[in-house]
Amino acid sequence: MKQFILNTKQDTEGFYRIRSHYLVRVRRLVAGDIFPALLQDDTVLSLQVCSVEDDCLVCESRGSVPNHRPQDPLPPLVLFQAMPKGAKIDLIIRQAVESGVNEIVPFFSEYSVSKRGADKIERWNRIITEARQQSGSHIDTKVREPVSLAAALMYWKELANRYSHKVGLLFHQDMLEPTSFYRCLTPVPHLLAVAVGPEGGFSPDDLAQFSGAGFTAVALGNTVLRTETAALAAITTVRVVLLEIEKNKQE
């Protein structure tokens, strides 16, 4: 665990009661130990263990400490993910968090088999917390409830209106036209969106709606990727290209 994210509030006595198998059984924290805890507002508290009760640590704050949060040179990244079958979305969310995505917007495309998801938000938030703790990501990734494609694109337009330079990339299973990642991402946008389809990819109607919202279709080669593989590959590709562009600007 690279960092511990504190979601527990102080009780009426001023203590933090934290249930964590990892801290108790793996880290083996005992009374007197001090460890840092990251709050949702990016404040870092220094917590001291007062006692251990089963898998529950009773802690009190010793005050805040400097948060040496690295500055991310990349623009905010939003993943528009078409709902896949079964639990694949759990893996996609975990990998997106570890890869530095700021927001995940699940949506139902024409070929989406699963039409559920609103009841999974609580689990997805737990996955996000676990992934941030494991990876040490300083980005407070958010996930929205699944919506229709039309609603997802309406949300994108609301986001895009806040930025002067925004780019939306749709990762398609077929190369519709020659497109350069460097051309799409130069200059570096102030906001970037990546859209990935479900099993079966995007339908012609999906493509038309994304095109109408200003997205550019790109491909990752001449092989067809699983949707959970495509999401990670898409995120990684754009991050690497953006980092290369920023590096070249400094040289």
Residues 28-49 have a mean pLDDT of 92
Backbone angles phi, psi at 17, to 5 degrees: -105, 110
Is there a contact between 147 and 118 (Cβ–Cβ < 8 Å)?
A: no
Residue 153 phi, psi dihedral angles, 5° rounding = -70, -30
CATH number of 77-250: 3.40.1280.10
142-157 confidence digits (pLDDT tens): 999 999 999 999 999 9
Residue range(s) in the chain whose domain bears CATH number 2.40.10? 16-65
* Residue ranges of the chain that CATH labels 3.40.1280.10: 77-250
Its pTM stands at: 0.86
172 pLDDT tier (thresholds 50, 70, 90)? confident
Percent of the chain having pLDDT more than 90?
A: 67
Angle at 128 between CA 80 and CA 157, to 5 degrees: 25
Asked if the 16-65 domain carries CATH number 2.40.10, the reply is yes
Digit-coded pLDDT (tens) for 177-229: 667 788 899 999 999 999 999 988 899 999 999 999 999 998 877 777 889 99
